[in-house]
Amino acid sequence: MNRFCKTIGTLHLILLLAFLAPASLYATPDEEANIRIYEEAGQSVVNIVSSTVSYDFFYNPVPSTGTGSGIIVDRSGNIVTNFHVIEGARSIYVTLFDGSKFNAEVIGTDPGNDLAVIRIKAPLNKLRPLVFGESSALKVGQKALAIGNPFGLEKTLTVGIISSLGRTMRATNGRLIREVIQTDAAINPGNSGGPLLNSDGKMIGVNTAIFSPVGGSIGIGFAIPVNTVKKIFPQLIKKGYVSRPWLGITGQSIDAADAEVLGLGSPGVLIADIYRNSPAEKAGLRGSSRNIRIGNLIIASGGDLITAVDGSPVKSMDEFNEMMDKLEVGAAVNLKILRDGKVRSVSVRLDEMPRGN
């Protein structure tokens, strides 16, 4: 009987210790890694509240606020976030991991990659920069973790995998963002601007958008690769914008069917208009002289048709922009054009793209 009572007492003690013991003692190695990443990287993730002013039908000012996330990247108080998080903001407030709040100023923006840098003046002991990883060697199936502030719920962690690589998505200014990372780690409104992390807790991307018919996560989220951040960050700090080469045209994609109707004989980019004093104007390129209707579409006609850039065929405006982005400001580019039924070659030296284009 005494032995039985001692056994029961021992079981009670074991159960009591199990109840009082920290949950982390029973976490799996994978869960332990998640906890560590959340506790360490979470201190580098901030909550951003931006205030904007719009106008109603009677031109009365209507203030509104938006929320998002951001990533502390250095000890100078620079924070990387999405451009759409702070676009048009009159004021920006940042909340750190310990609840302290600071006003932020916009340092640089790149709408073409949906990225921006803002800065706060905070004590050094409150600035915990996140370590940059590498996005060029990522593989589908690797673990991915997202930290952010979805729907205003601060410091939320979600876990998934890298679902696909090399995606493209369109930025607010119409340009394509390339090499985008797709993940099934839940990303919701408010997660924008927060980090996508690898299993080492290093940043591999900036969460930027979701595809969803219901407005919430259905497991299709997208992140700007960290290598894009590393490439443009110095320019955003130094200039406040990203320097890109500029030809100075607005163009319209002409596919094979359109080319046949227009009698062009080749797909390409039809120059619809040319900016004054642009490299295109100086090189003597011609814009369209009229518009014609093809079914329900209005297509520019009469302008030069660009069919190749430095010997590489071009079939759409997106392809043309991609080729331009690979060139440097001041570079000379050779364009193959079709004008009045004749093929010509035109050399153009590219300028820096003006702000706002």
Residues designated as active site? 84, 114, 192
| Residue 240 CB burial class (10 angstroms; 0-12, 13-18, ≥19) | middle
Q: Give me 168's structure tokens.
A: 């493209």
Separation of alpha carbons 257 and 300, rounded Å: 15
- Let me know how long the chain is: 357
Residue whose pair of structure tokens reads 């997660």 in the numeric block: 191
- In whole angstroms, give the CA distance from residue 277 to residue 247: 11
What value does the CA radius of gyration of the chain take, rounded to a whole number of Å? Answer: 27
Both structure tokens of 320: 């043309």
Q: Tell me whether residue 154 is exposed, middle or buried, using C-beta atoms within 10 angstroms of its C-beta: 0 to 12, 13 to 18, 19 or more.
A: middle
| Structure tokens, 226 | 């960290």
Phi first, then psi: what are they for 172, rounded to 5°? -65, -25
76 φ/ψ sector (left φ>0, alpha ψ -120 to 50, else beta) = alpha
Alpha helices in 196-255 (DSSP H): 226-238
- Read off φ and ψ for residue 307, nearest 5 degrees: -110, -15
Find out whether 25 and 31 touch, Cβ atoms under 8 Å.
no
